[in-house]
Structure 1
Amino acid sequence: MTRSLELLHMTVFSQCFSPCGKFLVAGNNLGQMTLQGHEDYIHCLALREQQRECVSGSEDGSVRIWDLRTGAQTHKIEVYKYEECARPQYGKWISCLATDSDWMVCGGGPKLSLWHLRSMTPTTIFPLQESQQQVMFYQDMILCAGQAPCVNHCQINGEIRAQIPSTPRCVYSLSVNESSQENKVLTAAGNSPKIDVFTNFRYCAFSLTFT
């Protein structure tokens, strides 16, 4: 009976495919993962395939790094405890993260920040006032979006290169069609029936609409 009730009320908040395409990692509101340790539900996941690690961000305010070979937690970063990142008025939750080799970018309640994972220290704090819901590394940029009607193009040094208007007032999902070099596009979706399609990432070329 207990398990049936858990399944009835379960929500999957995050999922991530491995770069090889063979594995899918997912997190839910009950904190049920093979890798256990978070004290609240999981918002975001990323895989570091070369290091054989999984990185998770949670409502509990922590980013945790897991060794996929042993299932052990190897590091815990409580972002909200760093003065330069903290925003107590927004809370401590981590809503988005992405990794690229030895680097991680994450944000939510705390400011969006770039971290060096070997030293476990923040190196760049991005001057974005709104909480970010999605973030990704793309070429030499960091793309992010959240509680504002735009997609942000950020440089590694913290400069905001561009803020591209979007149809949704809050953007919850960003995706890049990496499988097609000829038709590569960025899509943005959120609290709107429209999914914006950016053909050159600099403006919304058109929108797909649910009918």
Structure 2
Amino acid sequence: MDLETGTFTQALRGHTDYIHCLALRERNPEVLSGGEDGAVRLWDLRMAKEVQTIEVYKHEECSRPHNGRWIGCLATDSDWMVCGGGPALTLWHLRSSTPTTIFPMWAPQKHVTFYQDLILSAGQGPCVNQWQLSGELKAQVPGSSPGLLSLSLNQQPAAPECKLQGQVVVLLGPWASSQE
């Protein structure tokens, strides 16, 4: 959409059900989308065309049929993508469309982000999870809610923070939390 004129400049069609999440690639004019149909689609914005599809739920090691096949969160970092939802939270190499790390998390995740050499996730459960790229859980920071729908990082040089429904949790540095 052109923000100055309010007119649509292109439409990206391909998902067969509604879309839950989007992520822009850093160095390429590309966007990834994840939806209820269980697909992650990679779009080239120069051509307004789908260039890659990964159906995560079709990979046996990622599939969790009891949770469904929807993709509720995704993030990208160069040639890598991490996504989750119904299927397990999984790190993918985009060029090869290969899952490289499956994170041992039982609950569906609703938000995921790369931070330095870590992955942060949150979802059904009261914690923000801090993962090594290898899949090892480095830390869990508890929140006050039974489920967390999103997280946002303050990447100022001091201490990055993550706001959690009325709480500020310091994620990196000294592990402490305080009420707002």
Common topology (TM > 0.5): yes
Matches within 5 A, 1:147-158: 147-158=124-135
Q: Which residue of 1 aligns with 2:56?
A: 79
SS in 2 for 1:35: coil
Q: Which residue of 2 aligns with 1:206?
A: 178
Structural RMSD (CA): 1.8
Aligned residue type for 2:100? T
Aligned residue type for 1:197? V
Is the contact between residue 166 and residue 204 of structure 1 (CA under 8 Å) also seen in structure 2? no
Q: Which residue of 2 aligns with 1:114?
A: 91
In 2, the alpha carbon distance for the partners of 1:207 and 1:58 equals: 34
SS in 2 for 1:127: coil
Q: Name stretches of at least 5 consecutive residues in structure 2 with no aligned partner.
A: 4-9
1:197 matched to 2:168? The reply is yes
State the Cα deviation string for residues 6-35 of structure 1 (Å, max 9, x = none): xxxxxxxxxxxxxxxxx9xxxxxxxxx811
SS in 2 for 1:104: strand
Tell me by how many angstroms 1:141 deviates: 0.7
In 2, the alpha carbon distance for the partners of 1:57 and 1:77 equals: 10
**TM-score, length of structure 1 as denominator length:** 0.77
In 2, the alpha carbon distance for the partners of 1:85 and 1:55 equals: 19
Q: Which residue of 1 aligns with 2:31?
A: 54
Is the contact between residue 63 and residue 79 of structure 1 (CA under 8 Å) also seen in structure 2? yes
Q: Name stretches of at least 5 consecutive residues in structure 1 with no aligned partner.
A: 1-22, 24-32
Aligned residue type for 1:184? P
Is the contact between residue 112 and residue 122 of structure 2 (CA under 8 Å) also seen in structure 1? yes
In 1, the alpha carbon distance for the partners of 2:37 and 2:176 equals: 35
Is the contact between residue 198 and residue 205 of structure 1 (CA under 8 Å) also seen in structure 2? yes
Tell me by how many angstroms 1:203 deviates: 3.9
Matches within 5 A, 1:23-42: 34-42=11-19
Tell me by how many angstroms 1:183 deviates: 5.3
Aligned residue type for 1:112? L
Is the contact between residue 82 and residue 91 of structure 2 (CA under 8 Å) also seen in structure 1? yes
SS in 2 for 1:174: coil
SS in 2 for 1:39: coil
| More divergent stretch after superposition (65-74 vs 41-50) | 41-50
Tell me by how many angstroms 1:125 deviates: 0.4
In 1, the alpha carbon distance for the partners of 2:26 and 2:116 equals: 18
Q: Which one has more relative contact order, counting CA pairs under 8 Å at least 6 apart?
A: 2
Is the contact between residue 91 and residue 110 of structure 1 (CA under 8 Å) also seen in structure 2? yes
Q: 1:184 aligns with which of 151, 154, 160?
A: 160
Aligned residue type for 1:188? L
Tell me by how many angstroms 1:58 deviates: 0.2
In 2, the alpha carbon distance for the partners of 1:49 and 1:183 equals: 23
What percentage of aligned pairs have identical amino acids?
54
In 2, the alpha carbon distance for the partners of 1:181 and 1:149 equals: 27
Tell me by how many angstroms 1:184 deviates: 3.2
Aligned residues: 172
